[in-house]
Amino acid sequence: MKPQIINLPKILDKRGNLSFFEYPNQLPFDIARTYWIYDVPGGEVRGSHAFKEQQEFIVALSGSFDVVLHDGEKEERFCLNRSYHGLYIPKMYWRTLENFSTNSLALIVSDKKYEKNDYIRDFEQFKNLKSAL
């Protein structure tokens, strides 16, 4: 499955709306870990790495930010600004989060527990590994 925006259910209610995701209906993987990024100062950039094995799904629960994905050859930018849109990111994509709006909140779920050896933090190394796939 390629990187893509997945539309999440939106239960409209005059008391307030509700959205959700669950495996396997909206998410292509079972969740092993959840974390979130918040209080990002203006102009800051998060990420700038790839994962050897881990897949992720990112939702802008509040505010907006861009996720820039690089497949080793070309870049694709996804603007997340709705709490009922999620971005699926397969393993082995270089990913950067930027353009955070004030008070934005990025929810990230992953199919793996935190494993620092799963990170690729050198872009040239990433390109070499990717082209060898």
Nearer to ligand TYD, 8 or 120 (CB): 120
Nearer to ligand TYD, 10 or 47 (CB): 47
- What's the one-letter identity of residue 41? P
Q: What angle do CA 129, 122, 78 make, to 5 degrees?
A: 85
CB-hemisphere CA count at 13 Å for 98?
8
Specify whether the CB–CB gap between 106 and 62 falls below 8 A: no
Q: Which residues bind ligand TYD (CB under 6 A)?
A: 33, 35, 37, 46-47, 49, 114
Nearer to ligand TYD, 77 or 121 (CB): 121
Please state the closest distance from residue 37 (CB atom) to ligand TYD, in A.
6
Please give the structure tokens belonging to residue 93.
Answer: 């994509």
**Distance from C-alpha of 70 to C-alpha of 131, rounded to nearest angstrom:** 12
Please state the closest distance from residue 65 (CB atom) to ligand TYD, in A.
11
Among 10, 33, 49, 91, the one annotated catalytic: 49
Specify whether the CB–CB gap between 79 and 117 falls below 8 A: no
Please state the closest distance from residue 39 (CB atom) to ligand TYD, in A.
12
Q: Is 49 a catalytic residue?
A: yes
Catalytic site positions: 49
